[in-house]
Amino acid sequence: MNISTAVVEKVIREAGSIAMSQFKDLANLEVNKKSSRDLVTEADVAVEAYLKETLGREYPQFGFWGEESGQSADQTSRWIVDPIDGTHSFSKGQYFWSISVALEIEQELVFGAVYAPALDDYYYAEKGKGAYKNGRPIHVSKEDQLADSMVATGFACLRSYLKDNNLMRFNRIAEVTTGQRRFGSAAMDLCLVADGQVDAFWEQELNLYDVAAGALIAKEAGGTVTDFKGQEGIFPKQILVTNGLLLDQLLPLM
Ligand code: 2AM
Ligand code: CA
Ligand code: CA
Ligand code: CA
């Protein structure tokens, strides 16, 4: 492995305390709109700047791609970072938001970490070495009945003019499952599948920085990561993550 997972965890936890100091003082948080439904706060910018600088100093051999600052020149091997996934939740004082950091080496994801500072839950995986939550191995659920399952989704791009805006898909799946959740952080949703708290998750119109780390964590925990047709791989515009046992039952509903 080209990195020390302990060093990276320390860096991400420090980034988490930067975010937490702003989370505890939301009255003074500066919130801006990137577009009508995409927020960016001082915390998003500060967390990303810290990660870019610190990871760049520790590991100068890797490039960097973050949601807020864009891509560095060399992208052959790179950190893929969402400084705060779930900014809207963060800005409201809700607990489901996370810092997502993945490492991609020559187009292969080798490391992913998702840290939820308000819950103090740290998930990570290295390719081929399993997935962990707060130091303990985690595994996807054993639920094999769709009718008894708990699913999660999100509506990253919910526009009335979009024909395929996920509402129809949600209706179809909600009718045949027991529980449905909408946590607001795709990176965390993937970790909840990895941890067996949720049996499956799907969303559309996401970006690679939302899902790169969580997808590796879900895969290493025994889950499937596909598009809505069942093709294996990370397709952020159409991502379906399951415990494996529910994949065939979900695909016809996608
Ligand atoms: P963010 O908080 O980093 O913006 C929730 O459904 C997911 O959608 C989150 O991962 C959230 O990430 C993302 N998201 C929120 N607004 C979005 C937008 N306008 N376009 C794409 N993704 C968005
Ligand atoms: Ca955003
Ligand atoms: Ca995001
Ligand atoms: Ca973000």
Mean of pLDDT over the chain: 96
Ligand 1 site residues, Cβ closer than 6 angstroms: 35, 37-38, 82, 85-87, 154-157, 184-186, 203, 205-206, 210
Is residue 156 very low, low, confident or very high in pLDDT (cuts 50, 70, 90)?
confident
Cα gap 238→228, rounded to integer Å = 6
Query: DSSP labels for 51-91?
Result: HHHHHHHH-TTSEEEETTTEE-S--SEEEEEEEEE-HHHHH
Probe ligand 1: pick from 85, 158, 170, max atoms within 8 Å of CB?
Answer: 85
pLDDT, residue 13, reads: 98
Side chain identity at residue 131, one-letter code: A
Cα 195 from Cα 248, distance rounded (Å): 20
Length of the chain: 254
Q: Report which ligand 1 atom has the smallest distance to the Cα of 210.
A: 10
Given a contact cutoff of 8 angstroms between Cβ atoms, the answer to whether 217 and 188 are in contact is no
Q: What is the ipTM of this complex?
A: 0.95
Give pLDDT, residue 114. 99
Please tell me whether 67 is known to bind a ligand: yes
Among candidate residues 197, 200, 192, 239, the one with its CA nearest the CA of residue 217: 192
CATH number for the region 146-253 comes to 3.40.190.80
pTM of the model: 0.97
- Atom 23 of ligand 1, nearest CA residue: 156
DSSP string, 101-143: EEEEETTEEEEEEEEETTTTEEEEEETTS-EEETTEEE-----
pLDDT attached to residue 1: 64
pLDDT by residue (tens digit) across 222-243? 999 999 999 999 999 999 999 9
**For residue 201, what is the enclosing H or E element?**
strand 200-204
Confidence of residue 81 (pLDDT cuts 50, 70, 90): very high
Residues 6+ apart with CB under 8 A from 189: 152, 153, 154, 183, 198, 201, 203, 214, 241
State both tokens at 227. 């598009």
Q: Is the pLDDT of residue 77 over 80?
A: yes
Q: Ligand 1 test: best mutation among 206, 208, 209, 237, most atoms within 8 Å of CB?
A: 206
Q: Is 17 helix (H, G, I), strand (E, B) or coil?
A: helix
Ligand 1 atom 21, closest CA: 156
Delimit the domains of the chain by residue range: 5-138, 146-253
- For residue 93, the CA-to-ligand 3 centroid distance in Å is 17
Q: Which two tokens stand for residue 211?
A: 């899902």
Which residues face 150 on adjacent strands?
A: 179
Considering every ligand atom shown, identify the ligand nearest to the alpha carbon of residue 83 and give its number.
4
Q: 5-138, which class in CATH?
A: alpha beta
